[in-house]
Structure 1
Amino acid sequence: MATYEGLKTFKFGASVELADRLAALVVAGVKTGTCSAAVHGPDAEIGERQVCLNSAGQPVCEIETVNMQTLPFAAVTPEMAALEGEGDLSYRYWRDAHEAYFRREGTWQPDMDVIFETFRLTRILDDGFAEASEDAVKAERREAIDNGYTDLERQNG
């Protein structure tokens, strides 16, 4: 297992695009939650610090796991979905994106369990990546609206 300064390293998602997009949301401070298929087991422990890598394998930030819970996919709440910081922050966006992700990885079942983890950003390790993260958040929101997810559009008039 790869480490950075003695801490376990990881990338979000299963693609170059997701790794960078989700890391940018963390660095911008809008992503403080994530979930994974429970069949894989937990990726962290409460209190554990890990280093998030970008798609090139470069460390961009350090996070600390605050809470973890296993629950049915269908029991994830809109508030939990918004903690993931993705799309327009809506439950509908979260559900569609995560169902598609779990289908791609071959774990999707309507009654599947997920592990929902909340974390806090403890350190930014790449200032250049951090400077670009706000633009990444704006692009994330625009893309969601362009794809018919309009919760932010309604909220912000």
Structure 2
Amino acid sequence: MPEYEDLQETYPGAGTFKFGHDAESCTAQINLVRRGTKRAICAALADFEGAPEAMPVVGRTDIVAHWNNTPALIVKTVKVQEVRYCDVNTNMAASDLGRDEFTAWRKATKAAIKLDHKFDPEMLLVFEFFQLIEDLDGRQIEPRS
């Protein structure tokens, strides 16, 4: 019988989150992090109003999960920045999208925001810049109950 690792013992206090709004986008974004091109995630500030404990914090380590909730990556937050959608620069967009296509970032982010909020170009976004700590591919992880 294989030995399983409990990630909460290895990374105490780590939260868990998923990228995207579906399995396909989640997998694509995990792969971009693995390649080193995706180094940030952004969300509407309004997403955190009902859950302030979910707000990213510099120095915090988190578990990035696959869409089916199995652990994929460990990341550490290195910078958090609040910025209006209209003020996002090309470097920020490339860090989130995983490639240097500013117009594509604007289109994709606007569409994602509209799934949960009324879009306003002056709305505040939270940009969380992170560092990949560990790729969990192939690890024996203890199933969460």
TM-score scaled by structure 1? Answer: 0.73
- TM-fit CA distance, 1:109: 1.6
Q: How far apart in 2 are the matches of 1:107 and 1:24?
A: 30
Residue 136 of structure 2 is matched in structure 1 by 125
- Name 2:19's counterpart in structure 1: 12
Runs of 5+ unmatched residues, structure 2: 1-5, 49-53, 140-145
Deviations 1:51-87 (A, max 9, x none): 101112111110000001111101000111111244x
Structure 1 residue runs without a partner (length 5+): 129-157
Letter aligned with residue 26 of structure 2: A
Secondary structure, counterpart of 2:121 in structure 1 = coil
Q: Give the CA deviation at 1:90.
A: 1.2
Calculate percent identity across the aligned residue pairs. Answer: 26
Q: Separation in 1 of the partners of 2:97 and 2:109?
A: 13
Quote the Cα distance in structure 2 between the aligned partners of 1:104 and 1:18.
14
1:25 aligns to what? 32
Equivalents in 2 of 1:70, 1:56: separation in Å? 30
Q: Which has the higher helix share?
A: 1
Name the CA distance, whole Å, in 2 between partners of 1:58 and 1:24: 15
CA–CA distance in 1 between the matches of 2:119 and 2:27?
23
> Conserved in 1, the CA contact under 8 Å of 2:39 and 2:130?
yes
Give the Cα–Cα distance (whole angstroms) in 2 for the partners of residues 127 and 81 of structure 1.
Answer: 31
Which is bigger in relative contact order (C-alpha 8 A, separation at least 6)?
Answer: 2
Confirm whether residue 40 of structure 1 aligns to residue 47 of structure 2: yes
Aligned to 1:59: 71
Provide Cα deviations, 1:84-132, integer angstroms capped at 9, x if missing partner.
Answer: 244x52110100000011111224222211011110000110149xxxx
Q: Does the 8 Å CA contact 2:18/2:65 hold for their aligned counterparts?
A: yes
Q: Does 1:75 align with 2:87?
A: yes
1:27 aligned counterpart, secondary structure = helix
Q: 1:102 to 1:85 in 2, by over 3 A?
A: closer
Question: How many pairs does the alignment contain?
Answer: 125
Q: Which runs of 4+ in 1 moved over 4 A?
A: none
State the partner residue of 2:125. Answer: 114
Secondary structure at the aligned position of 2:127 is classed as strand
What is the root-mean-square deviation of aligned Cα atoms in Å? 1.9
